Structure formats: C-alpha cells, structure tokens
Amino acid sequence: MRKIAFILVDHFQVMGLAPVSTFEFANHELGREAYRLSMMSEKGGTVRSSSGVSVETEALGDFPDTLMVVGELLPRPVSPALRDYIAQAAKQCRRVAGVCTGAFALAEAGLLDGRSATTHWAHARRLQERFPKVAVDDDRIYIADGGVWTSAGMTSAIDLALALIEDDHGADVSRGIARKLVVYHRRPGGQSQFSALLELEPSSDRVRRALVYAKEHLRNPLSVEELAASVGLSPRQFSRVFREETGQSPAKAVERLRLEAAKTMLEEGRHSMDVVARDTGFADRNRMRRAFLRAYGQPPQSLRRSLRLIEGTMAS
C-alpha cells in the first residue's frame, strides 16, 4: 500500500484534487487498497479553497510515498516551514509532484533547479522568470524528471495521476481507470496544452460546426467547397466569414487540425509514418513532413525520437 498525501494551502484550486478520484478508482480497479490518501497543510485544520469549499487537513508529518502539492489560481510564495518540508520530501519521498501552479512551491524549495517542468500555460512565463534555473516547457501536459513530476493546469491533474498509476501498475490498469472516469486514456505527457479548435475561437455556430466537421473528417480532401456545404454556405461566403472570425484561411486552419491529430498519433507511438499521414489527411509522408517543418521546425521523425527519449527518461 502506497501513501499519497496532498498538500493544500489557503485558496487552493479544487480541480487540483481531481487525482483523489483517480487514485480511488485505482483501488477499485486493483481490488485492494493500493493507495491510501490524506490531506495535509502546514498547521492542519480547515483549509478553504478559492471557490469557498473547505477541506479538513492534518498537520505536516511523516513523509508519504508520493507527495502532491496542489496549486492556486494565483500562486503565492509558500511559508518557510512548508518550503523546508517540500525540500526534505525530495529526499524522503519516492515521488514529489506539483499540480498546476504547485510547481511554484516545488521551485521555491529548489526541487526544480536543473530540471524540466511545466505548469498552467498562463503562469509558465512567470515561473521561468522567477526561477531561471528551471527549464519550463509551457506546452506539456505533464513532465517527469527523475522523481519530480509537474503538470499543466486543470484537467491535466487527471493525466498526471493516471501517469503515476501507470508508473506503479502498468498501462492496462491505468486504461481501466480512465474508462471508469470517462476520460480519454492518459494523454501523453508531450501532448500540447493547447487545442487548435480553442485557439481559433470562431464566434458563429456555423464556423464552429465547420471546424468540428473538419476534425471529424480529416481523411477527406476538406476543400472550401466541402466545408461550406457542411454548414449550408456558398464557398465564397464561407471563405469570407471564416477569415473574418478566425483570422486564417480555411486551408490553413485545416492544416493546423491535421498537424494536431498527427502529433497526437505520433505521441501514441502505435502507427507508422505512412498510416499517420493517411489517417490525418496529409495523403503522403512527404507532404506531412513539409507541414511539420513549417509548424514545428522539425520533421515528424525527429519529434517521434524526442518523445521516445522523454518516455525512456520517465521509465528510468
């Protein structure tokens, strides 16, 4: 049985406790108490979240197997006592994790010096500026560097917990938990925090529907005529409205959707380059390679190699 302790501070973000249910379902999946959970704070007692929901906690005490520091909406410096406890946890715990802006507390304790880390994209620049010794990657869902783990914001806390469970019990157990949680099985750590559909942010339902149609039919040619027909507009009217609302041409937006899907398939590591190119609508790997070079400055083969190196580091 492994002990998992969550450290809370006043105004913590409730979403940071999403891993609690993930570990609870791990116990159900395994048919035993594989994880025992506890809530801790510097002095114990009631800790109030940013939403007003309160949680009862124990005072800092014995070190658990895995310590998870839950972040705040607006990260603030931690107290000297809490900073020292987290610093000592790096020597006493098998794993220490910063959930969302919990990475700031880990950085204050010196745990992230010389390591790669992530946090919510909205706070990544601030993390890098305050702690220049940390290699901050604002586009990762989570990062494991040795025994120190960090995650992006909000729902990525679930991805982090699933990755921790997979680290302990394997992919089959993690996959079974994800099904019970009704979430996509653990997104790879290298997956982007951003989504093309979110970034394009069209204001009308018609353009949004066209983008959803494109995402669901990537193997189609997805010409302007096809996209316009999917929402009942003429090609000329569709092109004008699309550019007004997204600032991009339909062809450019479709390429972004194809790139996002191809990157995800590469991260999964189960498909050949030819299959990835076919299923995401690039038609052939050369066309996909040119698109990757334009968008990421590297070919898909280099991206796949770098992801394998990351996974190898996580496994070691």
Q: Any idea where the domains of the chain sit in the sequence?
A: 2-181, 196-312
Q: pLDDT at position 316, please?
A: 47
Helix axes 171-181, 18-30, angle to 10 degrees: 120
Backbone angles phi, psi at 68, to 5 degrees: -120, 120
* Residue 200 or 95, more confident: 95
* 197 confidence band (pLDDT: 50, 70, 90): low
pLDDT for 303 beyond 80: no
The answer to whether 103 touches 118, Cβ cutoff 8 Å, is yes
Lookup: tokens for 167: 């680290």
The answer to whether 8 touches 57, Cβ cutoff 8 Å, is yes
Q: pLDDT at position 195, please?
A: 63
pLDDT for 306 beyond 70: no
Give me the chain's average pLDDT, please. 89
Backbone angles phi, psi at 205, to 5 degrees: -65, -35
Percent of the chain with pLDDT over 70: 91
Lookup: tokens for 75: 């990260």
Which residues does the annotation mark as catalytic?
Answer: 100
Please name the fold of domain 2-181: Rossmann fold (3.40.50)
Task: Tell me the pLDDT tens digit for each residue of 100-110.
Answer: 999 999 999 99
pLDDT for 314 beyond 50: no
Whole-angstrom distance, CA of residue 253 vs CA of residue 258 = 9
Whole-angstrom distance, CA of residue 68 vs CA of residue 224 = 48
Q: pLDDT at position 315, please?
A: 47
Q: CATH for 196-312?
A: 1.10.10.60
The answer to whether 59 touches 92, Cβ cutoff 8 Å, is no
Task: Tell me the pLDDT tens digit for each residue of 210-229.
Answer: 998 998 899 999 999 999 99
Task: Tell me the pLDDT tens digit for each residue of 118-145.
Answer: 999 889 999 999 999 999 988 788 899 9
